[in-house]
Amino acid sequence: MDKLLPLSFTFLVFIFMVFKLWMRSKIKETPKNLPPAPWKLPIIGHLHLLMFALPHQRLTELAKRHGSLIHLQLGELSHVVVSSPEAAKEVMRTHDISFANRPFLLGAEIVL
């Protein structure tokens, strides 16, 4: 009986931590006005959709199925994919302030 006490305490702490992480993820997932999205997996998001085909081909298939605006969650990062010129023009016109302050990307600096 005495040997089981530390094990049961460890198990209870583990269950508590899992519950706390689950609740934190539920709190983070507040509903937003996001475009439609395909079904996603809990941790990797939509990465499974881009694994087995070339990304541009898979994004074309998703655009045909879900429209010109698609919400993809790749890991823990949320992305909005715009796949038509008209939608891109509208997004850049209405949300230009959001795109004005982008993070520094070393890859873009090397290419340019």
- pLDDT 10s digits, 32-91: 788 888 888 888 888 888 888 898 899 999 999 999 999 998 888 888 899 999 988 888
- Looking at the fold, whether 51 and 17 belong to one and the same domain comes out as no
Q: Which domain holds residue 20?
A: 1-30
Among candidates 87, 41, 35, 88, which has minimal Cα distance to 66? 35
Q: Indicate whether 42 and 25 sit together in one domain.
A: no
Using a cut of 0.75, tell me whether the model's pTM lies above it.
Answer: no
Looking at the fold, whether 45 and 85 belong to one and the same domain comes out as yes
Count of structural domains within the chain: 2
Q: pLDDT-based confidence at 99, cuts 50/70/90?
A: confident
φ/ψ (deg, to 5) at 85 = -60, -40
Residue 80, helix vs strand vs coil: strand
Higher pLDDT, 104 or 31: 104
Q: Are residues 55 and 18 in the same domain?
A: no
56 and 104, same structural domain?
yes
Cβ 26 vs Cβ 45: under 8 Å: no
pLDDT band (50, 70, 90) for residue 27: low
Residues 40 and 22 in one domain: no
Contact 70/83 with Cβ under 8 angstroms?
Answer: yes
Specify whether 53 is located in the same domain as 89: yes
Residue 47 and residue 10 share a domain: no
